[in-house]
Chains A and B, each alone.
Chain A
């Protein structure tokens, strides 16, 4: 059996009345790329802060390679972090930044230079290594942020929303880098609230909300939670209350309500032949429907089922 590189057990953390993590447990295998999917405020950044040791006052345990992560300082240096913020010095060049951050790990200078050049090539910044970072685009800065997290060849890389605020092309580029890091044997935890990113990149996905893991598994395993159902997204100018009232009057056999909000609702049908009858029922009650989409079971449907709301909410 493959040994887990990271084992988080019953981690809890509160800020006053607000619960950020509630008995959070998670395992991660070697070389696994885990997408931690959750809306804003789900507790993703709190988790990263606890792992870095910059947040105290929590309960539970974190074992890294079988040892208590907080008992041995040296263990933490086997972890790389890519914070959501651009955590580097913008008045220095990419090369100078890599040399500084690598220097904190006491890597010999010659080896460090070699590693920095190698990483700059990986993140496609080799030609701009000596330029001040303030001249870089958002995507270039994000790539450098990842390169710094990898400078000391970590066994685990934590990425906190690494694609925030960049264009589609830059996003594709970064997701490629993350996939390649995983293929190289480094385990990755990658937090995001973009469903498509985890679908494309991760070998395993954990859905997180209100400080706890709601479901975890491969994409196929998660989709099975919804089952072989058709997902119908109904949009229009209606209130959540009105929609719920009308839908309850119908014959709901074989239909599951995934989410209902003002102007949008998601329904799952085990039998697709029941969809026209339901639509007719809605029209008969003069529900102002503007759009109707039928989707195959996907991660969004799983998320809706698990949390009762869309990631955009």
Chain B
């Protein structure tokens, strides 16, 4: 144990005395996060709005309800969120094929009549397959509108029938006497509803509690908290890999042979190496996350949980590269294979592309990467959850790799 601690202390001391490589590995993910964040949102200062959603509207109904629906997109808050273009169906389909809009909302023929007659009808949302979030928002909005319109059509069923029949008459043919009872009925319903709706008896107010001595944090989607975990885990893999490759260097330059003359056992040596790699990863990752929180105002959510995620992820990295180094013959082989492995992990694990953008057929590969579990874990913690699955997968597979590394490295070192 004493010798294991001595090796770990020596490793950390050496890294701290020549910190340039570690600093670089710390700075690069931060710089890349800043760069990618700036590309996707040039005005990003920590709190970011979604870009306007390009929505195509096809009005095949041209009735009262469709006008009401189109008008809804003209409301101030909705207008900020959607960039609506009215098109006919053919033009809409062409634009969608070219990927010029996030979604297309089709209001079918007889939509208003069907609503008035209480017949089932449907709004159609066509989503752009190359986008994930923005079409989803459009879909949610259309669903909410459909629920609202459905409720209105049921409450005001009789009035809508009158309005529908009146809309087919010339203005001179409409008698005020005929309309008065229906208008009165509508007025009574509105007054009755008003007592429920205005003011609402139950209101939902949301806020985030600030810790004592802190000001409330701004709420909103922070693009950096979305990008940084992917960058971080990719560079964490590079850091830990470089650390674990020390075994190959020490074999090549006779240090291991010298160590083997001392009372140090191979088991102690491997334990020390795994622990050093893990510890270095935890230090660098924690530091990078701290700097990320300050620079990009990222709220990492539950800090102890996030620390546990960092701990298990770094353990996985150390164990994985410990195991690989047992199978690499020399440091050149280790160097040649490690970088492609890390890049494949990054590509399929969500470090380079958001997981949602990876083609469906290849997305299953992500579950074999530490990147995927780290990124998913981070998201879950940021959103207030507990990433049990990430913890379990990373801990269990990390333990298996550590076990294999221990056995295989012992063989390799005494080959």
Contacts and interface: CB of A to CB of B under 8 A. Distances in A.
A252 interface: no
Nearest to A89: B14
Contact of A54 (B253, B257, B264): B257
Contacts of A77: 261-263
Contact of B2 (A80, A96, A106): A106
Interface in A169-194: none
Interface string B11-32: 0011001100000000000000
Given A52-B260, A54-B413, A85 B254 contact: yes
Contact of B261 (A52, A85, A86, A89): A52
A103 B260 CA distance: 14
Contacts of B255: 87-89
Interface in B252-295: 252-265
A53 B414 contact: yes
A76 interface: yes
Given A85-B253, A89-B14, A91-B18, A101 B258 contact: yes
A12 B42 CA distance: 70
Given A54-B413, A81-B261, A88-B255, 5 more contacts: A54-B257, A54-B415, A84-B254, A91-B14, A106-B3
Contacts of A149: 258
Interface of B: 2-3, 6, 10, 13-14, 17-18, 252-265, 413-415
A150 to B, nearest CB: 12
A104 B253 contact: no
A180 to B, nearest CB: 21
Contacts of A81: 257-258, 261
Contacts of B415: 54-56
Contacts of B264: 104
Contacts of A80: 261
30 contacts: A48-B257, A49-B257, A52-B257, A52-B258, A52-B260, A54-B414, A56-B414, A56-B415, A73-B265, A74-B263, A76-B263, A77-B262, A77-B263, A79-B261, A80-B261, A81-B257, A83-B254, A83-B257, A85-B252, A87-B254, A87-B255, A87-B257, A88-B255, A92-B17, A104-B3, A104-B6, A104-B262, A106-B3, A106-B263, A152-B262
Nearest to A74: B263
Contacts of A20: none
A148 interface: yes
A18 to B, nearest CB: 16
B414 A100 contact: no
Interface of A: 48-49, 52-56, 73-74, 76-77, 79-81, 83-89, 91-92, 96, 100-101, 103-106, 148-149, 152
A86 to B, nearest CB: 7
Contacts of B14: 89, 91-92
Contacts of A88: 255
Contacts of B6: 100, 103-104
B4 to A, nearest CB: 11
A53 B261 CA distance: 8
A81 B254 CA distance: 10
Contacts of B263: 73-74, 76-77, 104-106
Contacts of B265: 73
Nearest to A148: B258
Contacts of A84: 254
Contacts of A100: 6, 10
A84 B252 CA distance: 11
B254 to A, nearest CB: 3
A88 to B, nearest CB: 7
Contacts of A103: 3, 6
Given A83-B254, A104-B3, A54 B10 contact: no
Greatest chain A CB density within 10 A among B256, B258, B265 is at B258
B3 A76 contact: no
A54 B262 CA distance: 12
Nearest to B2: A106
A149 B262 CA distance: 10
B17 A91 contact: yes
A89 B7 CA distance: 12
Nearest to B17: A91
A264 to B, nearest CB: 35
A92 B13 contact: yes
Nearest to A92: B14
A85 B414 CA distance: 18
Nearest to A73: B263
Nearest to B268: A104
A73 B262 CA distance: 9
Nearest 5 CB-CB pairings of A with B: A83-B254, A87-B254, A85-B254, A104-B262, A85-B253
Nearest to B258: A87
A21 B256 CA distance: 22
